[in-house]
A = this chain, B = another copy of it.
């Protein structure tokens, strides 16, 4: 791996002319026919059958919509609930995404202290050395991390990420209603808790290149925070969930792209994977069309950013 996460992302976004991140949140009850038929015919216990269906489903989704995207974002919870076969499925899906030229942003929202944080980082990045050899990690290109435990809990993740040329996305302002409960707590020094989390993002991130290797999760559902958070984190990549089903609108996200086309990544899951439920047709065709529309909409908005004018040409 060469280059920092920021540099790699800028190059990949320019190459694919896309800022769309394909969310993979497989629900066993809603697999595409390509996945359901594999689970139906698979041998073994229920978890293995479902996990094999999940892999086939995610592969089909990637094959259908991946060309319009720059990355996938597997929701780790959806794999973890399938136990050991689910973890194997997560590795298989990541491998398929990489083979399709996509970055892998593991949405795991992990957070823990010292050696435990380092152990999670081993799981998601480079693996662990043992007296019996190496156990491989997921080799994700980035991981979402929950910063409630503070800077010293983030450093082990960051150290491991940098060794792999990978990045982190810290939760700064999530897309749910309840984000207000804690993240909008008002601080005596002024501002809200999200602002303090944003300061952590800015402080911990790399200083080289146009974009830092520590980004921020900023919900597209709360665009009123976007410009202020951008000021606080001028070089952070914003991972923007909540477009579509949750009510976020692409056109409200312009501030995310001020450092350049790769400054904002728009995560979409249901809007792509379940597009056929609202527009009809086969799932693959509907997913491709939905991803293509979203890509064009975002690219029109995001490729005019001042920082990376040539990335948008």
Q: In the assembled complex, which residues on chain B have CB atoms less than 8 Å from the CB atom of A200?
A: 181-182
Q: Say how many copies of this protein the assembly contains.
A: 2
Q: Contacts A110-B109, A185-B196: A25 and B116 contacting too (C-beta < 8 A)?
A: yes
Q: Contacts A50-B132, A186-B188, A187-B187: A178 and B150 contacting too (C-beta < 8 A)?
A: yes
A280 at the interface (CB under 8 A from B): no
Q: Which of A49, A117, A178 has the most CB of B within 10 A?
A: A178
Q: How far is the CB of A271 from chain B (nearest CB, A)?
A: 14
A279 at the interface (CB under 8 A from B): no
B-facing residues in A27-80 (Cβ within 8 Å): 27-29, 36, 39-40, 46-47, 49-50, 53, 75, 77-78, 80
Q: In the assembled complex, which residues on chain B have CB atoms less than 8 Å from the CB atom of A148?
A: 146-148, 171, 174, 182-183
A177 at the interface (CB under 8 A from B): yes
Q: In the assembled complex, which residues on chain B have CB atoms less than 8 Å from the CB atom of A123?
A: 77, 80-81, 83
Q: In the assembled complex, which residues on chain B have CB atoms less than 8 Å from the CB atom of A178?
A: 113, 149-153
Q: How far is the CB of A138 from chain B (nearest CB, A)?
A: 8
Q: Contacts A150-B182, A176-B152, A193-B182: A77 and B132 contacting too (C-beta < 8 A)?
A: no
Q: In the assembled complex, which residues on chain B have CB atoms less than 8 Å from the CB atom of A133?
A: 46
Q: In the assembled complex, which residues on chain B have CB atoms less than 8 Å from the CB atom of A46?
A: 130, 132-135
B-facing residues in A83-111 (Cβ within 8 Å): 83-88, 91, 107, 109-111
Interface bits A127-166 vs B (CB < 8 Å: 1, else 0) = 1101111111100000000111111110000000000000
Q: Which bracket fits the contact residues of A?
A: 35 or more
A175 at the interface (CB under 8 A from B): yes
Q: How far is the CB of A54 from chain B (nearest CB, A)?
A: 10
What 3 A-B pairs have minimum CB-CB distances, sorted nearest first? A150-B178, A152-B178, A150-B181
A residues with CB within 8 A of B = 25, 27-29, 36, 39-40, 46-47, 49-50, 53, 75, 77-78, 80-88, 91, 107, 109-117, 119-120, 122-123, 127-128, 130-137, 146-153, 171, 174-183, 185-189, 193, 196-197, 200
Would you list 6 pairs from A and B whose C-beta atoms are within 8 A, ordered by A residue? A28-B130, A81-B120, A113-B174, A147-B182, A149-B182, A152-B178
- Given A46-B135, A150-B180, 10 more A-B residue pairs with CB atoms under 8 Å apart are A39-B131, A50-B135, A81-B123, A83-B87, A83-B123, A84-B84, A113-B178, A148-B148, A152-B176, A152-B178
